[in-house]
Amino acid sequence: MILDQMVADAHGALVRAVPEHMLSTGELLTANQGAAEVLRGGGLVAFPTETVYGLGADAENPAAVARIFAVKGRPADHPLIVHIATPDQILHWAREIPTMAWHLARRYWPGPLTLILRRASCVPDIVTGGQDTVGLRVPDHPLALALLKVFGGGIAAPSANRFGRVSPTTAAHVREELGDAMDLILDGGPCHVGIESTILDLSGHQPRLLRPGAITLAEIEAVLKQPIAQPGNEAPRVPGMLRSHYAPKTPVCLIPPAYLEAEVRWHLGQGQRVAVLSRIALLLPDACLWKGMPDYPAGWARELYARLRALDVQCFDYILIEAPPIGADWQAVRDRLERAASAHPISSPRSSRGISAPFGEVGDHSVN
C-alpha cells in the first residue's frame, strides 16, 4: 500500500517517505524500482547515504541535473558528485585513472571518500561545471547501494539542502527544506557519519585534499604512502570551490573551552538568549540551553547538523560552540564549525580579548 502510493505519488510529483526499516527485502526492491523509474523519467529522488542525504538525478540526463541546480539555488559552476554502485564503474565515468584511485577505491568504497578524476566524454558539462574532472564515490548505505544497482547508471547528487545551508542527516530534514520540490524521498534513517565525504583530487600531479571528512588525511597518506597537499587560501581556486557556508540562520560563535562559561554569561548579561554545545560540562544559568556533545570526532560529526537544525528553529540570539581540539582527527569537524561560524559577524567580548578559533587548515573548498 505504502509502495503503491509512493510510485503513484512520485509520478504525480508528490512526496512519500518510505522508511527503510518498515520494508521487507522484496518491498525494498520494489521501492528502489519505483525510485529508479523516477530517475529514468528525469525526476529528483532524495536518498540516504552514510554521510548526508543526497538530492539525486540521472547523471547522464542534463535536463534532470539542471533541476538539481534550480531546486538548490546552486551556482552552475559548482560541480556535482556522481554516485556509482561499484568501483569498476570508474571506467565509465573517468579516464587516465591513476593506480592511486584503484588503491583508495579498494580500501574505502563503499565509504565517505570522493575521488576527483579526469572525466570521460559521457559526463555532461552541467555535472562538472564545465571542468575537465568528475567527482565519484560509492556511498556506504544499503538503500543507496540498492537504488544504484537497480537504476544501473550514475546518480548526480549534492547534499539535499538549499545552497549554503546545513546538510540534511535525516529524511525529515529533507522534507522540511525541499519536500515540495522532490519527486520522492527515500527514508533510510539517520546518516551514521553525519558530515560530507572527504574529497581528494587525483587529477593533478600530486593528490590534493579539497574537503576534509571522516576519512582523514593521515589514513589516505598511509594507503598512498605519500604526502597529500592541502591548499591554503593562497592556492589557485578551482571553479565551483569558492568559500561558502554550512550555516544555520542563527549566528554561531566558536569559543575556546577556557572562555566558554564567561562568554555565555556575557551574552546572558546582554539580555540575549543563547544555546551552548560543548563537550565539557558547564555550570550555567538556567537561562541558557546547554547540550552536551560527544568527546570524540565521529560522535560530533554524527550529531552536529541535526543539533544545529534543531537549535536553529528555536530563535536563539546565538549558538555558542566549544571550539574542538586542534588534533588532526578533529579537522573535518573543525572545518564545518568554522564555516558555520563564518556566516555571521560576531559581536561579543572575544574580539576585545583577541581570541580567535584555530581554524583554516584547509582553505578554499566549498560547502554547498
Task: Give the residues lining the site for Mg ion (CB under 5 A).
Answer: 159, 368
Q: Is there a contact between 195 and 301 (Cβ–Cβ < 8 Å)?
A: yes
* Closest distance of CB 192 from ligand TXA, Å: 12
Three-state DSSP at 104 gives helix
Strands 133-137, 54-58: pairing is: unpaired
Cβ-closest position to Mg ion: 159
d(CA 344, CA 251): 6
- Considering only residues 90, 241, 254, 304, which one is a binding residue for ligand TXA as defined by CB under 6 A? 241
Near ligand TXA in 337-366, by CB under 6 A: 365-366
Q: Which is nearer to ligand TXA, 123 or 255 (CB)?
A: 123
Sign of the CA dihedral with 236 first, then 240, 241, and 244 last = positive
Query: Is the bond preceding 325 in cis, omega lying within 30 degrees of 0?
Result: no
- Structural element, H or E, at residue 276: strand 274-278
Number of helices (H) and strands (E) in the chain: give both, helices first: 13, 14
Residue 51 marked as a ligand binder: yes
Q: Closer to Mg ion at the Cβ: 54 or 153?
A: 54
Site string for ligand TXA, 252-281 (x = CB under 6 A): ------------------------------
**Secondary structure element (H or E) that encloses residue 36, with its range:** helix 25-40
Judged by CB under 6 A, the residue of 87, 110, 135, 297 near ligand TXA is: 135
Q: 128, 169, 278, 331: which one contacts ligand TXA (CB under 6 A)?
A: 128
The candidate with the shortest Cα–Cα distance to 231, out of 207, 247, 249, is: 207
The one-letter code for the residue type at 271 is: G
Q: Report in angstroms how near the CB of residue 176 gets to ligand TXA at its nearest.
A: 17
Distance CA 204, CA 181 (A): 37
Is residue 238 at the binding interface for ligand TXA, with CB under 6 A as the rule?
yes
The region of 77-85, 87-95, 254-262, 301-309 touching ligand TXA under the rule CB under 6 A is: 77-85
List 51, 278, 342, 348, residue binding ligand TXA (CB under 6 A): 51
**Residues annotated as binding site for L-threonine?**
51, 83, 137, 157, 197
**Residues annotated as binding site for ATP?**
74, 133, 159, 167, 211, 246
